[in-house]
């Protein structure tokens, strides 16, 4: 009988050891995921607006204007962040007057890249606006530029994080002084984990 009890004790200890090893493995995997492998959402580090006014005349009306919103996106995670096109749309008093897109790309782990595209403003749409004359008289043309970029970070082909970043800039063009000013706000939305 002592032999049977010994076998039962050995089997019980073996099962308990296996259970403890499995629990330690799960705890180690969870700690590894939360400490290192978990994809982290990208952050918008900064946004810069570059404007170029090539031509402006009151009579006959002429406007040759382009702008670019350059968005610096920081990837703090250990997995690369792959993004689609960075789409920039420009509106004047609610009407779309320009749109452009940059090529898709990749932001390596723990680095920062600048994305964005230059938009040539459609002068015909601006000049025919009912607000154009009043804005020219006041000396300030108000535009809004929005740049949106969506992407995904994948770690070990198992952990995924999708995110959308959007930068909205209020751009004021002072055509007589050939100057501009801008104020940008940005948001990052996590769309899936």
In this structure, the answer to whether residues 113 and 186 fall within a common structural domain is yes
- Residues 31 and 55 both lie in one domain: no
Verify that 73 and 33 share a domain, yes or no.
no
Task: Say whether both 118 and 54 belong to one domain.
Answer: yes
Containing domain of residue 129, as a range? 39-192
Each residue's pLDDT tens digit, 61-105: 899 999 999 999 999 988 899 999 999 999 999 999 999 999 999
Q: Quick one: pLDDT at residue 18?
A: 85
23 and 106 in a single domain? The answer is: no
Verify that 22 and 46 share a domain, yes or no.
no
H or E element, residue 2: helix 2-32
Q: What is the pLDDT of residue 4?
A: 54
Residues 57 and 5 in one domain: no
How many structural domains comprise the chain? 2
* Structure tokens that stand for 182 in this block: 């801008």
52: domain CATH number is 2.60.40.10
Question: Does one domain contain both 183 and 101?
Answer: yes
pLDDT tens string, the chain, 193 residues long: the values are 445 567 777 778 888 888 888 888 888 877 766 666 677 788 888 889 999 999 999 888 899 999 999 999 999 988 899 999 999 999 999 999 999 999 999 999 899 999 988 999 999 999 999 999 999 999 999 999 999 999 998 877 777 889 999 999 999 999 999 999 999 999 999 876 6
């Amino acid at each position: 009988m002592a032999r049977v009890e010994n076998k039962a004790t050995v089997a019980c200890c073996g099962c308990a050891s296996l259970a403890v090893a499995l629990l330690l493995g799960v705890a180690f995997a969870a700690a590894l995921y939360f400490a290192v492998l978990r994809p982290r959402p990208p952050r918008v580090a900064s946004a810069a607006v570059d404007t170029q006014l090539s031509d402006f005349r009151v009579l006959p009306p002429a406007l040759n204007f382009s702008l670019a919103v350059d968005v610096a996106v920081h990837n703090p995670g250990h997995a690369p962040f792959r993004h689609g096109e960075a789409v920039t749309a420009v509106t004047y008093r609610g009407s779309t007057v320009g749109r452009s897109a940059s090529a898709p790309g990749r932001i390596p782990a723990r680095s920062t890249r600048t994305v964005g595209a230059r938009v040539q403003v459609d002068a015909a749409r601006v000049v025919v606006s009912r607000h154009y004359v009043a804005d020219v008289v006041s000396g300030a043309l108000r535009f809004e530029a929005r740049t949106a970029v969506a992407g995904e970070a994948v770690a070990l082909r198992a952990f995924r994080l999708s995110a959308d970043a959007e930068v909205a800039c209020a751009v004021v063009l002072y055509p007589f002084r050939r100057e501009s000013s801008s104020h940008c706000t940005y948001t990052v939305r996590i769309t899936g984990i």
